[in-house]
Amino acid sequence: MSCSCTEYIPAEQGTIIFIGSTTENPFASMTPAIVSRCRVFEFKRLSFDDIRGALVKCLADKRKGLGNYSASVEPAALDHIARVAGGDLRTAYNALELAVLTTPPQADGSITVTLADAEQSIQKKSLAYNEDAFYDYLSAFCKSLRGSDANAALYYAMRLIEGGGDPLTVLRRLIVHSAEDVGMSDPRALVVATSALTAFEKIGYPEGLIPLSEAIIYVCEAPKSNTVVTAMNAAKRDANEVRDDDGVPAYLKDNTFGDKQTKAQSYKYKYPHDYAGGFVEQQYLPDKLKDKIYYVPSDYGYEKTVKEIRKNKGKLK
């Protein structure tokens, strides 16, 4: 974070005025009590025309700029610096100064900066971002996965990583969304995502980006269903609110150390593999929740098959 403050004390009034500037979001990085007492002005990044115009003025300014160097810059070179600076005038100034100072003068002492010189001086725009931008990119990545937009998801993933973010953060979010937003509609999405994590840990950067990209595309293109999350939340709610601590059916209890009555009840347990298709009807939930249904398959992807399996078992309700 860069910050500057100015203190101004009018004569004999005892009033102190502070003016501060920062590249961080003050609403996130400053104490709310202070921000609430401030007038906040947000400055947007400069446009291409703003940057280019400032560079032209810099070349002509002999007192604060580069006017004493008798330097001229090809229009294409100015355009390149202004475009690649990404709205950051300081980056543009630094690139222009470097280009002028490192370009050999001609016989008459004049300097001509070409497009090639400009490309060498600025290389590419800085991809670094602050904490606010990090969470914005991460949020956009997650929502692009959910929205099945592989192009956007790939872009935001690469923007996060190339800007200095940890690729493992991207991979962890990908794994979560493979279960949260794809889930049972295509269970292979979770396998692909976790395999991409393993591959990246084994291969490293940059080759590890290939399986990562494959997994991103797979999760985006897979059918979407949030039934796993819906079922989880419903079960979690009942686990906290109902709390039927002694409601486990007797025949499901561990009879290793149970009394005679518990052991006698255990024989009522129906072993599914003793029945056709490896399935038999019996109550598994506690009595208070015996009619609860947490997981309801959707009509998308593999969940259509789950519905058919349930029909065959006579379990569809």
Q: Is 276 inside any structural domain?
A: yes
7 pLDDT exceeds 60? no
9 pLDDT exceeds 70? no
Q: Is 109 inside any structural domain?
A: yes
Q: Is 237 inside any structural domain?
A: no
Instruction: Residue count of the chain, please give it.
Output: 317
Q: Let me know: does 120 contact 77? Beta carbons within 8 Å.
A: no
Q: How far apart are CA 3 and CA 131, in angstroms?
A: 16
Question: How many CB atoms lie under 10 A from the CB of residue 54?
Answer: 18
Q: For residue range 141-161, what is the model confidence (pLDDT) as tens digits?
A: 999 999 999 999 999 999 998
Query: Which position has the higher pLDDT, 126 or 39?
Result: 39
Q: How far apart are CA 208 and CA 201, in angstroms?
A: 8
Q: How far apart are CA 103 and CA 69, in angstroms?
A: 11
Query: Which position has the higher pLDDT, 268 or 230?
Result: 230
In which domain, by residue range, is 27 found? 3-35
What mean pLDDT is predicted for residues 247-259?
Answer: 79
Give yes or no: residues 215 and 152 share one domain.
yes
Q: Is 208 inside any structural domain?
A: yes
User: SS3 for the chain, per residue?
Assistant: CCEEEEEECCCCCCCCEEEEEECCCHHHHCCHHHHCCCCCCCCCCCCHHHHHHHHHHHHHCCCCCCHHHCEEECHHHHHHHHHHCCCCHHHHHHHHHHHHHHCCCCCCCCEEECHHHHHHHHCCCCCCCCHHHHHHHHHHHHHHHHCCCHHHHHHHHHHHHHCCCCHHHHHHHHHHHHHHHHHHHCCHHHHHHHHHHHHHHHHCCCCCHHHHHHHHHHHHHCCCCCHHHHHHHHHHHHHHHCCCCCCCCHHHCCCCCCCHHHHHHHCCCCCHHHCHHHCCCCCCCCHHHCCCCCCCCCCCCHHHHHHHHHHHHCCCC
pLDDT at res. 264: 77
pLDDT at res. 48: 87
Q: Is 174 inside any structural domain?
A: yes
Distance of CA 180 to the CA centre of its chain: 15
Give yes or no: residues 21 and 74 share one domain.
no
Average pLDDT, the chain: 87
Q: Is 236 inside any structural domain?
A: no
CATH number, domain of 82, equals 1.10.8.60
Q: How far apart are CA 296 and CA 228, in angstroms?
A: 9
Give yes or no: residues 272 and 212 share one domain.
no
> Which of 74, 103, 122 marks a domain boundary?
122
Phi, psi of 145 (to 5 degrees): -60, -50
Confidence of residue 28 (pLDDT cuts 50, 70, 90): confident
Q: How many percent of the chain have pLDDT more than 70?
A: 91
> Which of 98, 122, 146 marks a domain boundary?
122
Give yes or no: residues 256 and 309 share one domain.
yes
pLDDT at res. 244: 65
pLDDT at res. 255: 75
pLDDT at res. 25: 74
Q: Is 41 inside any structural domain?
A: no
Q: How far apart are CA 267 and CA 252, in angstroms?
A: 10
Give yes or no: residues 135 and 214 share one domain.
yes
* Nearest Cα to Cα of residue 111 among 98, 123, 120: 98
Give yes or no: residues 16 and 79 share one domain.
no
CATH number, domain of 143, equals 1.20.272.10
Q: For residue range 266-313, what is the model confidence (pLDDT) as tens digits?
A: 788 899 999 888 888 899 999 889 889 999 999 999 999 998 888 888
- 41-45, 61-65, 187-191 — most confident range: 187-191
131 pLDDT exceeds 80? no
Note the pTM of the prediction, 2 decimals. Answer: 0.66
Pull the structure tokens for residue 144.
Answer: 């692009």
Confidence of residue 128 (pLDDT cuts 50, 70, 90): low
Question: How many CB atoms lie under 10 A from the CB of residue 167?
Answer: 21
**Domains contained in the chain, number:** 4
Give yes or no: residues 159 and 201 share one domain.
yes
What mean pLDDT is predicted for residues 153-180?
Answer: 93
Give yes or no: residues 101 and 61 share one domain.
yes
Give yes or no: residues 103 and 181 share one domain.
no
206 pLDDT exceeds 70? yes
pLDDT at res. 317: 40
Q: Is 238 inside any structural domain?
A: no
pLDDT at res. 1: 42
257 pLDDT exceeds 60? yes
Q: Which amino acid would we find at residue 178? A: S
> Which of 221, 237, 261 marks a domain boundary?
221
Confidence of residue 125 (pLDDT cuts 50, 70, 90): low
Least confident of 26-35, 82-91, 166-175, 188-197: 26-35
pLDDT at res. 124: 66
